[in-house]
């Protein structure tokens, strides 16, 4: 999928672990893992809002579009 | 949702009861074969009175199958449905290797039909069982629906072939007489349609599975 989720990059910048994010956002570890590995099919605006709130960033910092090479 | 699951359990119970009933009826109908073995043919049963006037040269009609026999005089003897005399017709002149082969083929076809029927019922049972537990849109269920669909189509074809072979057996039996056995086209359209509709439903379930996956992978 050409949409990349830079969750690990943001976590590294904020020096936060996935477990801590999971606890603060209220999303299970497995769901965060799906998001991080790019297996997710869709992200709710509500979830994006919570993550941005905790990581103190913009949605654009988390999501990136890369043209697929065909 | 709970009501739906309850109705699924009811359907499951009805399915099991229906399956047992069909099995009992089949065993009851084939009772004579189970009791006497395959040599049941040696014990001819007297024709019902309405067939006493029917003369088949060199042929003993003990327990006639459903047949449509055209005499050379143009008269058609219909041994069908209501007039059925239960069973087999025997050629006295020629036992015939071909008849034995066709009968053997028909027997193996009967076994195949029985196996297909059991597999359809089994898959339907497990499908309803899983559905009653809430696992409806799963790959296993999609596979089961696919199997049911294809088996229903195969069953209708197998029944058609069985009927055709039965006609050839009857034709062979009456080959040394003045009578001809005429063929009546009989195809199980209902079973075929059920198979096609089931395959269509399988595609709907596939879409449902995709939507479920999408829902589950929405964070």
Residue B99 to residue B94: CA distance in whole angstroms: 9
Pairwise CB contact (< 8 Å): B218 & A44: yes
Domain A3-65 has CATH 1.10.260.40: yes
Residue B173 has a pLDDT of: 73
Residue B75 has a pLDDT of: 56
Residue B182 has a pLDDT of: 72
The two tokens of residue B65 are 């199958």
Q: How far is A58 from chain B (nearest CA, A)?
A: 18
Contacts of B212 in chain A (CB under 8 A): none
Residue A70 has a pLDDT of: 62
Report H helices in chain B: 2-29, 31-36, 97-132, 139-173, 189-216
In the 8-state DSSP scheme, what is residue B99? H
Nearest residue of chain B to residue A25 (CA atoms)? B219
Q: How far is A51 from chain B (nearest CA, A)?
A: 11
Q: Per mean pLDDT, which range of A24-28, A59-63, B169-173, B207-211 is the poorest?
A: B169-173
The more confident residue out of B24 and A34 is A34
Q: What is the 3-state secondary structure (H, E, C) of B129-171?
A: HHHHCCCCCCHHHHHHHHHHHHHHHHHHHHHHHHHHHHHHHHH
Residue B119 has a pLDDT of: 94
Contacts of B213 in chain A (CB under 8 A): 41
Q: Mean pLDDT by 10-residue block, N- to C-terminus, for chain B (219 residues)?
A: 64 79 73 51 44 48 52 54 43 66 87 93 92 88 95 94 85 71 80 93 92 86
Domain chopping of chain B, boundaries: 2-216
Nearest to A31 among B213, B214, B219 (CB): B219
């Amino acid at each position: 999928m050409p949409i990349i989720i830079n969750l690990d990059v943001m976590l590294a910048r904020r020096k936060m672990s996935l477990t801590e994010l999971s606890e603060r956002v209220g999303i299970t570890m497995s769901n965060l893992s799906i998001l991080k590995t790019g297996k997710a099919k869709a992200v709710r605006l509500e979830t994006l809002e919570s993550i941005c709130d905790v990581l103190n960033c913009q949605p654009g910092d988390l999501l990136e579009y890369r043209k697929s090479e065909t | 949702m709970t009501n739906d699951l309850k109705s699924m359990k009811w359907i499951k119970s009805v399915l099991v009861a229906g399956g047992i009933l069909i099995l009992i009826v089949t065993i009851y109908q084939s009772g004579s074969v189970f009791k006497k073995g395959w040599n049941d043919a040696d014990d001819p049963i007297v024709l019902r009175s309405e067939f006493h006037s029917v003369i088949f040269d060199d042929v003993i009609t003990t327990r006639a199958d459903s047949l449509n026999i055209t005499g050379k005089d143009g008269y058609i003897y219909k041994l069908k449905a209501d007039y059925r005399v239960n069973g087999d017709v025997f050629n006295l002149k020629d036992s015939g290797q071909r008849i034995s082969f066709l009968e053997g083929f028909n027997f193996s076809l009967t076994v195949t039909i029985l196996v297909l029927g059991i597999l359809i019922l089994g898959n339907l049972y497990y499908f309803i069982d899983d559905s009653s537990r809430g696992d409806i849109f799963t790959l296993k269920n999609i596979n089961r629906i696919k199997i049911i669909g294809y088996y229903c189509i195969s069953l209708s074809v197998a029944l058609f072939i069985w009927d055709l072979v039965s006609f050839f057996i009857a034709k062979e039996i009456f080959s040394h007489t003045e009578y001809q056995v005429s063929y009546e086209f009989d195809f199980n359209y209902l079973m075929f349609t059920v198979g096609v509709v089931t395959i269509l439903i399988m595609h709907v379930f596939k879409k449902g599975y995709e939507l479920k996956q999408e829902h589950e992978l929405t964070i």
